[in-house]
Amino acid sequence: MKTPYDKDKYFLFLIIVGLGLTTAWSWGTFQEGHLFIQFPQLLSISPEHAFFFFPLFNAIFFTLMAKYTFFFNGNKFFKQLLLFSVFSLFLLLPRTPSHLSIWMDFASISIASAALALFDGGWMWLGTNLSPQKAVLVFSAANMLASLIMAVHPWFPPSFLLLITGAFPLVSALFWGKSFNFSFSSSEPPHLRPQTSFKGKWLAPLHFGLAIRIFLFFLACSIFHHHILSSSGTETISHFFFSELMYGAGALTAALLVYKIPKIKLRHIYILAQILIGTGFLLISPFYGFSGWISILPITLLQFGFGCFGAYAWATLVGLASRAPKEHALSVASKGLALIAGSVFIGQNLIFLLNRVSGTWNIPNNQLLWVAGVISLLLAGLFFHDNPETFANENLDKQEKHGLAPLSQTERHHLLLLPYDLTKQETKIALLLAENLNNSEICDSLNISENTLKTHLRNIYRKTKASGREDVQRIFS
């Protein structure tokens, strides 16, 4: 369903440029380490080791954002972005080999992971003001901008490269503040959609199958990044800068397919991504000894496929977050982003294990990598069929073309309870509270004792930060 912000060119421009600069900054620093390859004096540990710890810290900060959303609201969030933008300049301080420099590296990783969590969560939060079709198009345009920056930045003068790397977070924070000021003036999202059932507790509203699929795909992504970071040689690096464009091109291709062709479903984008990535992994071993531009074919296919899957994941997470009340959309988005960062960290541990196996059994490392990548994709295929309410198998235009069914009172109450992570029984009790039933009536309805009910009520009050049943009922008003 289209929203008023879909046609606001200024709002779209702010998101594309702000998110694009954030993405370029993260790729250049700890996510892919390009800056440290060109300026090794900025890091005393290797880029591979930095990339090992970065997603762990990133996942922790995303989890904190999902759980303590009251601390990340409005102008307070904007001030935090500005603060971490200034702190991120710490990354640009040169290191001298010493024990202190290692602690400086870990401080840099912590600051950068917190900053990226704030920026990624904040931009996805703003993306919930858009329809899923427009959101995925904006995401892809931002990634194309980041890909262009990464493709040309080796030719920047060193001083200029350091200057713009330090400026990217600050400019992105300022753009976020401008976007927030006029996009969050109302208390409800402009395209509220029903959600009626969720599996899992902490991951809700991510369906289990969707969560597993995202986990396995980004597990494969971490394996691929390790392959790049552990490669050496000017030719390999220059080829990878070209392949950066393929990630943006993959995301943009997927977004245009979804945006322009109504019959295209997200499941089709998922299948396309799986074919491209699977083919890329299968070609890593046969192309391992090749030289010249032919050697870049597997990397190009992998980057294009990961771009397609990035668009798929962004559309899904933004769509799910947009269904929640606007003040809780950040929590839903942060859960998905924490899942992505956590899967990358687990992938790093898997790579460590594979390296041990490679050394013990004398198996070529590149063969183990492509086998692990292919297996992760095959496992992802086992979780292809979702609960349709995640709309991961649904046409994004379906609701717009046929119209949204009116929300029933129960559906709306389920939606409003979503951010509080209530158990199934607690949700039933909260819904009965909304109907003004007294304790005795609730006990009879659920066939539970009054002591059990009081225990559940205490848990409900704690999770919703309510002082009593009147406060709980205000949630539904």
Identity at 359, one-letter amino acid code: G
Q: Does the pLDDT of residue 44 top 50, yes or no? A: yes
DSSP 382: T
190 inside domain: no
Q: Is residue 323 domain-shared with residue 244, that is, in the same domain? A: yes
Q: How many residues does the chain have?
A: 477
Least confident of 84-93, 219-228, 342-351: 219-228
End of a domain among 374, 401, 428?
A: 401
Convert the pLDDT of each residue in 298-325 to its tens digit.
888 888 999 999 998 888 888 888 777 6
Q: Categorize the per-residue pLDDT at 423 as very low, low, confident or very high, splitting at 50, 70 and 90.
A: confident
Q: Is residue 454 domain-shared with residue 375, that is, in the same domain? A: no
3-state helix, strand, coil in the chain (%, to 5): 80, 0, 20
Q: What is the CA radius of gyration of the chain?
A: 23
Distance CA 32, CA 50 (A): 10
What CATH number is given to the structural domain containing 430?
1.10.10.10
373 inside domain: yes
Convert the pLDDT of each residue in 176-197 to its tens digit.
988 887 665 444 433 334 443 3
Identity at 146, one-letter amino acid code: A
Domain holding 455, by residue range, is 411-475
pLDDT mean across residues, the chain:
78
By the 8 A CB rule, do 112 and 234 touch? no
What is the value of pTM for the model shown? 0.75
Phi/psi for 171 (5° steps) reads -65, -40
194 inside domain: no
Q: Is residue 361 domain-shared with residue 464, that is, in the same domain? A: no
User: In the predicted model, what is the mean pLDDT of residues 60-67?
Assistant: 89
